[in-house]
Amino acid sequence: MTAPGPPLVVVPAYRPDAALPALVRDLAALGLPDVLVVDDGSGPAFAAVFDALALRGVDVLRHGSNRGKGAALRTAFAHALERDPGRDVVTADADGQHTPAGVRAVADRLAAGDADVVVGERDLAGPGVPLRSRVGNALSGAAFRTATGLPVRDTQTGLRGFRADALTWLTGVSGDRYEYELRVLLEASARGAVVASVPIETVYVDHNASSHFRPVRDSLTVTAPLLAFAASGLLAFGVDAAALLALQSVTGSLALAVVGARVLSAVVNFGVNRAVVFGRATTRATGRAAPVRESAARYAALALLLLAASYGMLDALHGTLGVPLLVAKVLTDAALFLASWTVQRQVVFPPPGPRPAPPAAPAAPDRAGTARPSPRRA
């Protein structure tokens, strides 16, 4: 059940302009007065902006140097978890892309209580949207939906709502920059979280000139884990399909061909997933690397279940209905793909336990070099 009262609005900011104070002011007018801003190393030239916000009662946390949006969000989540546990959180960007009405819409959808994560979904097909944003988000969204099955079209939006009980695992998601936000959605999928979307206004001022998102470099960073997530499955499918056809041709037995192909592809898939895709064969309790034997045993149990399901479906499609073997193979693996990935991320290669929380309010050095905490609301 969602926490009562309005959520805390978290805004990571790097070298903000006038859009940030305007957002904070307008959010208060819409019944969202509690805002937590993270100054992600903007530097002395922008200190006055954050000081003015703090004097108005806004909580301001400061990074001494620019650490990235993901690091800023984790700092905010850890602070919220420590200072106000049980409270829902909505995240918004500081560059004017998210309107107060959009933030309010996400907050209201979260308050309905039937979703763990709410995504503010932009219409990137509308006028005024830069081509780079349309293409990048379309490709990222298509790959994400294929890999997870979640109906999320806008994977790069920073306007999101999270139920209070998600904050613990949010602090454990890796990635310091823009890739963090995609990994959050992947983690939500792995944990079986209910993800909902709500349409929001699409705002691009001066072709998004105020954004610090670097189209080529950051797009590659964002999509790299997702591409690895999907590519491993495609590699295993290729190995499995080729071995299936070859073994059936040699043995004439569908059962032997299915078993042999599955064993070979499973070995390849396990190695790639453990070393590359998840890169974290860890135990939830300790956050340390799980022994290969432990991960392999869980993977083997999953492989046996998938083997039985695969053989049953192939026998029905190919043996009973007469569907060509390769076509039956594609249909079977497509049906089992999402189930396999979900179980691997949750059980075989589970996410580590939460990281130790960073200091709640990092001190900001003044010009004389002494430390001064950010002013806080009484």
User: How far apart are alpha carbons 287 and 18 in whole angstroms?
Assistant: 42
Q: At 370, is the pLDDT very low, low, confident or very high (cuts 50, 70, 90)?
A: very low
If one counts every other C-beta atom within 10 angstroms of the C-beta of residue 212, the result is 17
Number of other residues whose CB lies within 10 A of the CB of residue 327? 11
Q: What is the pLDDT of residues 110-131, one digit of tens each?
A: 999 999 999 999 876 555 556 5
Start-to-end CA span in the chain (Å): 28
Please write the tens of the pLDDT for every residue from 167-201: 999 999 988 887 889 889 888 988 889 999 999 98
Give the pLDDT band of residue 356 (cuts 50, 70, 90). Answer: very low
The tokens for 112 are 């309905």
**Nearest alpha carbon to residue 225 among 175, 259, 262:** 175
Residue 280 has pLDDT above 80, yes or no: no
pLDDT at 134: 60
Is pLDDT above 70 for 298? yes
pLDDT 10s digits, 223-235: 566 567 678 878 8
What is the per-residue pLDDT for 362? 45
Q: What share of the chain has pLDDT > 70, as a percent?
A: 75
Dist. CA 175–CA 170, nearest whole Å: 11
CA distance 184 to 150: 13
Predicted confidence band of residue 75 (pLDDT cuts 50, 70, 90): very high
Confidence of residue 202 (pLDDT cuts 50, 70, 90): confident
C-alpha span between 348 and 345 (Å, rounded): 6
Element (H, E) at 179: helix 179-190
pLDDT attached to residue 359 = 45
In terms of DSSP bridges, do strands 160-162 and 89-91 run parallel, antiparallel, or are they unpaired?
antiparallel
pLDDT at 70 over 70: yes
Token pair in block for residue 30: 């819409």
Domains identified in the chain and CATH numbers? 8-213+356-372 (3.90.550.10), 226-277+281-348 (no CATH)
